[in-house]
Structure 1
Amino acid sequence: MTKSAIARALPALFAAVLLTGTLFAAPAFAEEGADLPRAGTDLSDRASLQRGAALFMNYCSGCHSLQYLRYSRMASDLGLTEEQVQDNLNFTGSKVGEHMQVALTKDEGQQFFGKAPPDLSVIARVRGSDWIYNYLKSFYVDEARPVGWNNTIFPNASMPNPLWQLQGVQHAQLGKPDAGGDRPVEKLLIPQPGEQTAEQFDQTARDIATFLEYAGEPAAIQRESLGVWVILFLAFFTFLAWLLKKEYWRDVH
């Protein structure tokens, strides 16, 4: 290959490298509910991740597992010791190197809720963190449902509101019946306040959504921290490619 041919190929090669990096950096799943209020999750906020882990393990892990995440990996990523995780976040007696399973069996889930509660390892990748955030805030009392609760984001969900003590007992203000006779939910009201203010509960829902976003792809934390170094490397590679191009074209007229 001649010098001029190599020089002409360099820009195309560099473009291919950039394109490949862009493709691999793209999210694996499209986020649902793009029109929902934003959760404002931040995987670099370690305090939010730690609070979200504690909230999930105390309020959600009784029914929902995270079968693709290990206790030891969570401890390492969230800046916790294995002793802290075992003493405060592990309620099943599992070893620290084991996956985060749930004590509730499928038969018990079927008996209590009509279906076994799903594993939530990849819920954030499927639904999106904004969906989780708004879902946790949208439970309301519905005596017509088997568990006494309903949800505006996921109507007729079999899940009760696990956070009602924090949020308060939320009720729906219904509108006029539609053509099918159903009355849509126009507004959600909290006549019985919970232990937290509205702002505090927003943070609670955000912390849980952040933790589940992390659980769906634990490597994302490390990948984002390496992103700056990757950009610097590409910038340096661009400079070298430019110098090489000038060298090859120096004697070409």
Structure 2
Amino acid sequence: MLKKLLGALALSLTCTLALASEGGAHLDRTPDRITELAALQNGAKLFVNYCLNCHSANAMRYNKLMDLGLSEDDIKKNLLFTREKVGDLMTIAMTPEDAKKWFGAAPPDLSVIARAKSTNFGPSGVDYIYTYLRTFYRDSTKKTGWNNVVFPSVGMPNALWQLEGPRSFTDIEVHQVADAQGNEQWQRTTTVYDAAGIPTVKTEVLKDYTGEATRVTRFDSADAKTFSKFESDVADLSNFLGWMAEPGQLLRKQIGVWVMLFLFLFLFVAIRMNAAYWKHVR
């Protein structure tokens, strides 16, 4: 039985690592602010102002934000802009039919998006969101005018572009292609998207290259200070989405610590009782 369990665990790890290596961008680690109420409050404000126009959060009520230290008046004054009440769900006015007509597909509900994007033994969904929101770049060849490194050809435009500031994007890819005679050769393609999304492509043949296929991406911000503030806001927003996916996680972790302490104490007592019980046998 133990061998079967170990085998299943090994298979699970193998599959997870294989999925991680098959493709997709590297996911950056999100600054951990899940216990910082000020950061979560800022994330809630950003979510309501920039995300809740298209994305709903049907499993969350506004009054649940009081767990983050906000009062009912704070929620009414700063997070409610129409006729919603504090006890209402975070819904949107846009219907799925209109969303499909305008965007090609209805934007997903974000109530548990952080849990949905989590992987076993890998990056968390919060890391996915953090990296995704920071890797939009202008691309004039797309209908929305935007593209994304984590989710190529995504149908969503960059909702946070005003906070981000102008940036250029460089994509350097080394790959094999067939020449006119059908022979495979290595080629490096460098594509630079300026701040307006106009691409410039440069291709060169690597005659003596003996490595493997690689891809390197780089962003260059026109205003480093603005982008640093943007990254901090994205971290707050990502942590808020992580909290929203499981509002009780902090209490669960605290209870877990006390449970483990109790079990260790019980183990110590059990060991001492066992020693005392069998003392006369020895």
With normalisation by structure 1, the TM-score equals 0.77
Residues in 1 aligned to 2:40 and 2:250: alpha-carbon distance in whole angstroms? 11
Aligned-partner residue type, residue 146 of structure 2:
W
Deviation at 1:248, TM superposition (A): 2.0
**Contact 1:140 1:170 (8 Å CA) reproduced:** yes
3-state SS of 2:43 partner:
helix
Alignment of structure 1 residues 35-74 onto 2, 5 Å = 35-74=26-65
3-state SS of 2:166 partner:
strand
Instruction: Specify the alignment match of 1:141 in structure 2.
Output: 138
3-state SS of 1:197 partner:
helix
Aligned-partner residue type, residue 145 of structure 2:
G
Instruction: Specify the alignment match of 2:237 in structure 1.
Output: 208
**Contact 1:65 1:102 (8 Å CA) reproduced:** yes
Alignment of structure 1 residues 4-83 onto 2, 5 Å = 35-75=26-66, 77-83=67-73
Instruction: Specify the alignment match of 1:190 in structure 2.
Output: 221
Instruction: Specify the alignment match of 2:74 in structure 1.
Output: 84
3-state SS of 1:67 partner:
strand
Instruction: Specify the alignment match of 1:26 in structure 2.
Output: none
**Contact 1:139 1:150 (8 Å CA) reproduced:** yes
Aligned-partner residue type, residue 153 of structure 1:
V
With normalisation by structure 2, the TM-score equals 0.70
Residues in 1 aligned to 2:171 and 2:261: alpha-carbon distance in whole angstroms? 55
Matched, 1:219 2:248: yes
3-state SS of 1:146 partner:
coil
State the Cα deviation string for residues 26-79 of structure 1 (Å, max 9, x = none). xxxx8977942211223111111111111111111111111112222222x211
Deviation at 1:130, TM superposition (A): 1.0
3-state SS of 1:228 partner:
helix
Residues in 1 aligned to 2:104 and 2:191: alpha-carbon distance in whole angstroms? 25
Distance verdict in 2 for CA 1:247–1:184, change over 3 Å: farther
Instruction: Specify the alignment match of 1:234 in structure 2.
Output: 263
**Contact 2:25 2:150 (8 Å CA) reproduced:** no
Residues in 2 aligned to 1:130 and 1:184: alpha-carbon distance in whole angstroms? 26
**Contact 2:126 2:238 (8 Å CA) reproduced:** yes
Bigger share in helix: 1
Instruction: Specify the alignment match of 1:107 in structure 2.
Output: 97
Aligned-partner residue type, residue 47 of structure 1:
A
Bigger share in strand: 2
Q: How large is the Cα RMSD of the aligned pairs?
A: 2.8
Distance verdict in 2 for CA 1:34–1:139, change over 3 Å: closer
Structure 2: which 5+ residue stretches go unaligned? Answer: 1-15, 118-124, 179-186, 193-216
Residues in 1 aligned to 2:106 and 2:249: alpha-carbon distance in whole angstroms? 29
Q: How many pairs does the alignment contain?
A: 221
Range with bigger deviation, 169-178 or 201-210: 169-178
The structure with higher relative contact order (CA 8 Å, sep 6+) is 1
Structure 1: which 5+ residue stretches go unaligned? Answer: 1-29
**Contact 2:221 2:227 (8 Å CA) reproduced:** no
Q: Percent sequence identity over matched residues?
A: 41
